[in-house]
């Protein structure tokens, strides 16, 4: 459900968010649920700002109970460093908010102290939870970014998803055991299905990232009737991540590969490079594609 736009970016509620809000409202904690919603929105707003700072086009932000997912209309995944920084922006902002709230709490007696303490706990919860190395959480994105340097985006996603699903099953099992022994922890019972569902969806979406990228190029060609081709000259030992940095939205790039002696070794297309990055990693020298 779309609730509005920020800087032209659609803000969308996932159905799980409504479930959590309704659950806490039934428990008589409506003010806390609204505070949680505000913290999550600020968390994702900072993701959005950092993504925009890198020149990325954000299509929409989908809000989950413990964070959100920015749907970026660019190949964020080909640059692990950028993906890591965008992912870490949210938790770092929550930590900043904790510091600011503590200053307000210790120097003001006007604001509702109890609600302010809950605001601090919310930020700590959102920051620490999102730093867990599980997809689709921010920590999981950092994990995938680091794995993709070695294995490529697709295999890195599969490994991160496997870890996430195993941990979701463990969380749910611990929650059930706690319920059986009288130490009820509703959070684990609610979080586990969320992680499993979201990780599975992330796995399905990852399979189509490369296809979506090329389809967007095709749509631009169909819409404009023309798409400029650009040539890039690269030494044969240049890693793919450096070449991709030169790609632009409006051009379809052709890369002329040359030897150290400036002899032409061959030509590699943009599509071949993007496909190789997702399958084999961004540190692969371009000569391996010839």
Tokens of 38: 């505000």
Amino acid 35: pLDDT = 79
pLDDT in tens, 158-201: 889 999 999 999 988 888 887 777 776 667 777 888 888 888 88
CB-CB contact of 290 with 266 (8 Å): yes
181 Cβ neighbours under 8 A, 6+ residues apart:
none
Amino acid 60: pLDDT = 74
Nearest to 67 by CA among 29, 99, 20: 20
* 238 φ, ψ (degrees, to nearest 5): -70, 130
pLDDT in tens, 144-169: 888 887 777 777 888 899 999 999 99
The DSSP line for 129-152 is HHTSS-TTSHHHHHHHHHHHHHH-
Q: What is the pTM of this model?
A: 0.71
Nearest to 119 by CA among 64, 42, 63, 62: 42
Distance, in Å, from the CA atom of 71 to the CA atom of 59, rounded to the nearest integer, reads 6
Distance, in Å, from the CA atom of 109 to the CA atom of 91, rounded to the nearest integer, reads 28
């Amino acid at each position: 459900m779309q609730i509005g736009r920020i800087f032209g970016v659609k803000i969308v509620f996932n159905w799980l968010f409504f479930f959590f809000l309704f659950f806490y409202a039934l428990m008589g904690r409506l003010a806390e649920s609204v505070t949680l919603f505000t913290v999550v929105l600020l968390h994702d707003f900072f993701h959005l700002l950092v993504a925009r700072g890198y020149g990325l086009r954000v299509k929409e932000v989908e809000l989950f109970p413990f964070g959100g997912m920015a749907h970026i209309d660019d190949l964020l995944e080909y640059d692990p460093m950028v993906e890591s920084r965008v992912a870490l922006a949210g938790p770092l902002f929550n930590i900043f908010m904790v510091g600011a709230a503590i200053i307000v709490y210790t120097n003001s007696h006007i604001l509702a102290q109890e609600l302010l303490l809950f605001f601090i706990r919310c930020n700590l919860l959102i920051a620490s939870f999102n730093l867990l190395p599980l997809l689709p959480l921010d920590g999981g994105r950092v994990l995938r970014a680091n794995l993709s340097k070695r294995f490529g985006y697709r295999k890195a996603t599969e490994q991160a998803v496997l870890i996430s699903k195993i941990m979701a099953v463990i969380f749910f099992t611990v929650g059930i055991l706690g319920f059986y022994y009288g130490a009820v922890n509703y959070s684990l019972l609610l979080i586990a299905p969320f992680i499993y569902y979201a990780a599975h969806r992330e796995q399905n979406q990852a399979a189509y990232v490369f296809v979506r990228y090329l389809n967007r190029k095709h749509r631009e060609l169909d819409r404009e009737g023309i798409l400029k081709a650009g040539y890039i000259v690269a030494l044969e030992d240049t890693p793919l991540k450096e070449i991709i940095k030169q790609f632009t939205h409006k051009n379809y790039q052709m890369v002329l590969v040359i030897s150290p002696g400036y002899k032409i070794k061959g030509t590699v297309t943009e599509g071949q490079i993007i496909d190789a990055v997702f399958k084999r990693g961004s540190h692969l020298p371009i000569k391996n594609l010839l």
